[in-house]
Amino acid sequence: MTESDGTTKTVSRRRLLTTAGASVAALGAFPVVHQGADLANPAIVGHRGVAGLEAPNTIAGVRLADELGADGVALDVRRTVDGELVLFHDPVLDISTNASGRVETTTAEELADVRVDGEPIPTLREALGVVSGTELSLFLELKKTGYTEETLALVEEFGLVDRTTLTSFRIPALNTLDDPPVDRGFLAGAPHPDLFSEARQAGSSLVLSHYVPYGLDWFVEKANRSEMDPGIWELASTEPHIEDALSFDIDLLITNRPDIALEKRG
């Protein structure tokens, strides 16, 4: 975004997410379908740390998730041009930082000066060092293929194998390992008929759907019939929608506002 004086203004992803969530709620685009239902007791995981309250995919977000008492954190992993694994969601820096360009064509040294809402972009090694000092479970989303083994090697180095789940939308990112020591989770934007066969191809018994209310009853029932564990990840982190997500019989909820989910959890 460019100001009138020609300088570039950084757009805060956290503000964008908060505004988007409020707008969606006001428009009723994500209707609450289980009003007044009993709430489930899934594991509560902070999405990108605690993206509704802190800069996403940052050490500050990981620490806040731990302070709030979340059961885990879900973080995004990308690789720089010189092979450093870092925490960042978007393929480009332009949307939510004070820099521009693609992460995969940027060096780790160049990223050291980049800020997300004032916070530095951590390396995966830095983040694992923090997580290892907590009891948080760890969900690492591999945004692309080609660095699964490197990610797993770091997880093993920090002794976090028993607490880590590798997740991805990409089947080859998960099934490239023979008998991996960590759990795997297959991500979907919305429930769809091929989801469970794709999860099997990825070697995953955990399936994660975006919060799409009218499709989630089918999703949970199908997961149970397929002997898979259903989870929800959601971005419209308002209190009614978190309550609605918790009304489904799920094993895992990944949310931008784990503080609200922990308060509401049955």
**Catalytic positions, written as ranges:** 47, 89
Look up residue 205 and give its two tokens. Answer: 């018994």
The burial class, CB within 10 Å (0-12 / 13-18 / 19+), for 226 is: middle
Element (H, E) at 260: helix 258-264
> SS in 3 state form for 210-240?
ECCHHHHHHHHHHHHHCCCEEEEEECCCCHH
Phi and psi at residue 229, in whole multiples of 5°? -95, 120
Task: Compute and round to an integer the Cα radius of gyration of the chain.
Answer: 18
Look up residue 172 and give its two tokens. Answer: 């080859």
The burial class, CB within 10 Å (0-12 / 13-18 / 19+), for 101 is: middle
Look up residue 223 and give its two tokens. Answer: 């997961």
